[in-house]
Each structure stands twice: as structure tokens, then as C-alpha cells.
Structure 1
């Protein structure tokens, strides 16, 4: 039976709110000592659903998969509207900290001191723990967790090349002024984060190379474990298009949080070329605003305005659907089932791609740019087609070729799905458990 511990139950320090009164904004405190058990071995620290974001979904999937093989528990964020999450009876979820809170390092430390795990596995992504000012406290969290004398493993979903630490990078977080100083601070912050971790997991060899060459991390301290690929119920394509009101038109899908770095503008220009041979082609762009727009909604509106202007300039009013909304998990597979092609024309990307993982699971034909991790995951011409970024002509040619040849699309999708077997969540969980075992066995010899 599922055991999920939320902050509405088992509270030791904060009384229940009186009926009809609004509860306190700060989360109550769990009586963690009473809940401690001998089977709790690995603590997975991360934001968890219902919080929105690929990193939250990733760690929840990882924790659930690990718990099917070995006991585990999660030290997760608290949300007043959090629903009870389904998991195996070996996974316990303790909701003890809040996003955008100065106290989250102390609350996570308290939980780990009480639960006494043999290993702590922390999830890392920029703004995972809140806005940049709060995310900057992440090295403090690692420093405090070292007080538990427990090995700390870190998963880094994104690794930013030094050459990308420019004004454009910091503009998305509202820090474009003094970009050179922020770049130096970012390098120091990342090096400190790596220094405080016993071991680091990344999702691609390119990310590992960056950590070694540009951040000075030892190679033997880094493991490459691919992004897990889930299984989804397969919906008939015609039925999916009917449900989404796409008719029988060929669909090119760009899915995920919207941001200018994902190359949507290049994709629209490429579509202007594609429709000359495929006038019924439909580009579907769907996803909510990227987290970096959270503090600057005006920039997101300006970005969407640029997209709609490009649609009009290229005469694509009948060929483009833009839905700026977050797609719930139960609806996402229907979008992928409707797609003849999944497009990933990213201009810049720093690590794992949950969208590619979904396309692999669904067996979609994929066209992507040669950025990390696509050039490692996709075998050009076999499991997908790779093009140069910001090259609308090459992108248009690839889409045109794929739309013109259904057998090519089927072969690419079939091969991509076959390549995903080694990245099933069961296999990914086993790779993590093997690493946990190695680090736990030699924790006395770890070199931080």
C-alpha cells in the first residue's frame, strides 16, 4: 500500500488550522523520528510533483523505479494543494520544505539527520529550488548535508559551457547587467557544488567532458547515466488527431516549455518553405512559459508576439497552432501520438531532454539540431535526422523529406524506440543502484 506523508498529517509542532481559517503559509513540521524505519536507505532530495517541471517528473520516476527494487524515500517540497502520489510501498515521500524559502537547506538537513539514510542523492537544476536567489543556497545545502557524514550524490541535468555565460544567458534570469561578474560567480558556484559532492551523475558524455575540461572535476567522480524513458499507452494516430481537432493533416510537433533558445522562430521560417510542397502541413507548438520567464512575463508575451508576427509574415495562419499552456501528463501522450514528426530545433541546450525521452517512448520520427544531448542520442539517418542549428533551409529539407516518405518516418521512429530499451526506467534504476552500492561500500575512501 502506498505510504505518502504529507504535511496535512502527523504534525508535531504546528496545530491544525481552525475550520474556516486560512492555514499558515509556512509548512508544519513532521515528526520524522516516529516515521523512521530500518528499511529507509537512500534519500532522494528534489522538487516532486505536483510541482511542474521535467526535473520534478524525472526524480519522481527515478524514485518510484528504485523503490520497486530497493527501499527508498524522498525528501520533497511541500505544496498546500499537493495530491497524494501513487508509488510502491517501499517509497515514502516526506514533504518538509518549500520552494523560494531561505530555510529549505535547514529543513532538508533536519529530515536527513532524523531519517539517517546511507546515501543522499540530490537533484540539481538551476531554479529547481526556487528563484535564482534561493537556488544560490544550494552549495549551503550540500555543506550542511555533509554534517550527516553521509555520501552525497548529485544529478546535474544541465551543464553550461563557459562560452555560453554571456549577457543572453543571464538575461533570461533578469541579470543581464554585469554579466561578466555573474559569469565568474556562476563558475565559482558550480565548482563549489561539484567540490561538495561525493559523486556526480550527468546524462551525456558531452556533459561529463564539460565538467572535466571547464570546471576541473575529476573524471572518476562523474558517471554518465542516460535519461530514463517511460512507457505510455499508445493512442491510435487518427484518434489522437481527432481528439485534438487536427483533422487528417500531417502534424509537426514542438512540445515543451516555450523559450527562444528552443528555435521556434527558425522552425516557423522553415515551415514557410515546407508548405510549398506540403500545403496541409500543421505545426503544433504547445507548452507553458519556461521557468526563466516567471519573473518577467512581459518578455514571454513579447516572445509569443514575435512568433505570431512570423506566422503572419510567412502566410502560415492556417498552418500553425500555438498553445501557450502547460500540458498535463495524461494529455501529453495524445499530442505525441498525433505527431508525424517531433521537431527539436534547439539553438542552445545544456543537458537532458524529457521531450526526446517521450518521443523515444512513443516511437516518433524526430528531427533535431546538433546540440547536447541530441548528437549523442540520435544516430543521424537511423534513429532520427540531425541538422545544424539556425539553418532554416536544412531544417526545411529534413522535414520535407520526412513528410514525403512515410516509410522513412516509420523506420526512424521504430529504430528510435528500439534504442530506448536500454534507457527504460527499470534499467536506469538498476544503474543508479549499482552506483549507490559502489559508493556506499567505499564511502570511507571517498575523496570530496
Structure 2
């Protein structure tokens, strides 16, 4: 069977590249499958990951994506085309994002079996937090795009609540729930000797600047260090596409604070060490846009999780049984108190 996986893919740093890598890794281990990854363009000439057949045939914010992708798909003629996407996978601007979301429907029209893994729903996004200006237009375009995505032969979401929204609002499509899960077939017991020895590291990992901001966490961290002077805050990841320069601006404000460390983008091979030396992983989000990949990474490495008490984290806690400590959204004192409690009562 021939499968084409359409996804951002390392060494690209675009959103969902890590999830795409793990889909590809699992598929490549299945006998009888011939996998071709139709990946996003790279900004520079760097080697592809060994062991994968990769064709770079679409780009972020490119209006040519439908033509380029469909041309390659038509040449390969796979048995299945699997799209690993969110609403902003093909662009941060409205037109390229919208035209990109039409590609799965066009793929099915061409006669090929099409599956979509959809990571967000427009209905669950806090548009103010996401930096969207024209809320009404975005909702309308998002509904049309969702109808197009539901034209695929099958579509999977990561949370049961998302399936419920699709079935109740759109009343069409073949929709399934496939929980995020951990991105490893070989989870390991945590080496507790690497935590709090002597520094307790608090990890915040993500794409920062919209609904994921750092001001609340840093304010809470200052309160934590009054009780635990040996604590360290590690801020990993880069800017959200809508907020370029955000992380650099925050780093500049705190450049004289050695207990706050900014790592920038974290490559796949550096993720194990990052989590294995972490005492607590924090998700101080004001809203959410899908099942948290960072929370599942923390599970993979046995790291305690502290997150805002918002609907998506409650859904993960209830449906997947993940142990998550919840704090009051926007509450500096609540966040600080929970951090101190978790670090002093491991």
C-alpha cells in the first residue's frame, strides 16, 4: 500500500512537524507500506532525516500550494493521502491558509482516499487570544473550511469534545476520535536523580505570544524564588507566527536574571534531556487550541504537569486520565502556590 503523508516535517520548524515525524516513524515500521512524506519547504539547504522518502512540495503562506501538492499526488497516485494539519498549517494569512484547507477535498475529488488528522477547531479558539482581528469573517471562513475538511473520506480529532462539536454543528462526515497519546513506543521510567539536584527546573515549552504568554509565569516565578532560591525557569521554543519577536523581547527584559533561561527552538534529539532534567512542566495558557502536545511529552518522560484550569486541559484530564494539577487562569498567586507545593512535595 502506498501512503502519502502531507505534514510539516523535520528539519522544518513549522507547527505539527514533531507530530508528523512520529506518524511517519510509526508508519515506516509497518510491513507492506510504502510511505512518501509530502513536506513543507525548508528555508535553507539542510540534509533530510535519514530513512525517509521526503518531497518538499508546499510552503507556508504560498498560494501555489494546491497546484504543487496535487501535481505531486497525481504523479504518485497513492492508495491513501493522510493530512496532518491545523487551521494555520498552510499559512498565517487568511487566503493561503484557506486555500490550503481546500486541498484534502480536492484530493478526494481526484479519486483518492483521503484522511485528515485535524488538531484544532475554529469553534474552540479564543479569537482575541489568537490575535484575530475580524472575528465574524474568521468564524465564517472557518466554518466553510471545516465543511471542506469534512469532505475527506475520514477525519480524526484528538478530543471527544471536538467530535461532538463537528457532529452537532455540521452533521456530516466520518469523524473519529484518536487521542494524542505519547509520541514514543518506548517510554522510560524517570531518573529522579536528575531533578532538583541541586536545581529544580520549571519548564515552559511552546510557541509563544498569543494565548501562550510568559508574563504571568515570570511574575509567579519571582514569587517562587522567594521560597525556593535554587529554582530555575527554562523557557523553550520560539515565537508564534502571529507574534514575531515576542520571545526575544521578553528575554531582553530579563537578560540580567540568571535563573530565567531561554533555549530557543529545541531539536527533536534534545527533547529527552530537556524533559529528563525538569521537575515541573507548566502550561500557563489563557486559552487553548487543541490537545496539548507538551502535556503528552511531559507524560512520556514522567514529568509532573501544572496547567491553567481551562476546558481542553480538563478534557485531557477526564478523558485520558492524565494527572494534571490545575491552577486559576490568570492567577499569579495561584500559579506560584501550586509551583511551590509541587516542588516541595514531589
CA–CA distance in 2 between the matches of 1:158 and 1:140?
16
Cα separation, 2, equivalents of 1:395 and 1:257: 20
Secondary structure at the counterpart of residue 331 of structure 1: helix
Q: Deviations over 1:256-302 (max 9, x none)?
A: 222242242222232233333323222222221122224xx4x5555
Structure 2 CA distance for partners of 1:222 and 1:286, relative to 1, 3 Å: same
Return the offset for 1:239.
Answer: 6.0
Alignment partner, residue 157 of structure 1: 119
Give the direction of change, closer, same or farther, for the CA distance of 1:391–1:138 in structure 2 (3 Å limit).
same
Indicate yes or no: 2:343 matched with 1:393: no
Determine whether 1:96 maps to 2:57.
yes
> Which is higher, the Rg of structure 1 or of structure 2?
1
Question: How is 1:37-436 mapped onto 2 (pairs within 5 angstroms)?
Answer: 39-40=1-2, 42-70=3-31, 71=33, 72-79=35-42, 80-87=44-51, 92-132=53-93, 133-161=95-123, 164-166=126-128, 168-171=129-132, 176=133, 178-194=134-150, 196-213=151-168, 215-218=169-172, 221-229=174-182, 230=184, 231=186, 248-294=198-244, 297=245, 308=254, 317=257, 319-323=259-263, 325-378=264-317, 383-406=323-346
Which runs of 5 or more structure 2 residues have no equivalent in the other structure?
Answer: none
8 Å contact from structure 2 (residues 200, 230) kept in 1: yes
Q: RMSD of aligned C-alpha atoms?
A: 3.0
Q: State the alpha-carbon separation in 2 of the partners of residues 344 and 233 from structure 1.
A: 22
How many Å apart are 1:342 and its aligned residue?
0.9
Q: Is the 8 A contact 2:157 2:179 kept in 1?
A: yes
Residue 434 of structure 1 is matched in structure 2 by: none
Report the TM-score, using the length of structure 1 for normalisation.
0.67
- Tell me how far 1:96 sits from its aligned partner: 3.0
Task: Kindly state the Cα deviation for residue 401 of structure 1 after the two structures are TM-superposed.
Answer: 1.4
Unaligned runs of 5+ in 1: 1-38, 242-246, 407-448
In 1, Cα distance between the equivalents of 2:210 and 2:97?
Answer: 23
Structure with higher strand content: 2
Q: Using structure 2 for the length normalisation, give the TM-score.
A: 0.85
Q: Tell me the number of residue pairs that the alignment of Structure 1 and Structure 2 aligns.
A: 339
Deviation at 1:363, TM superposition (A): 0.6
Cα 1:201–1:381 change in 2 (3 A) is: closer
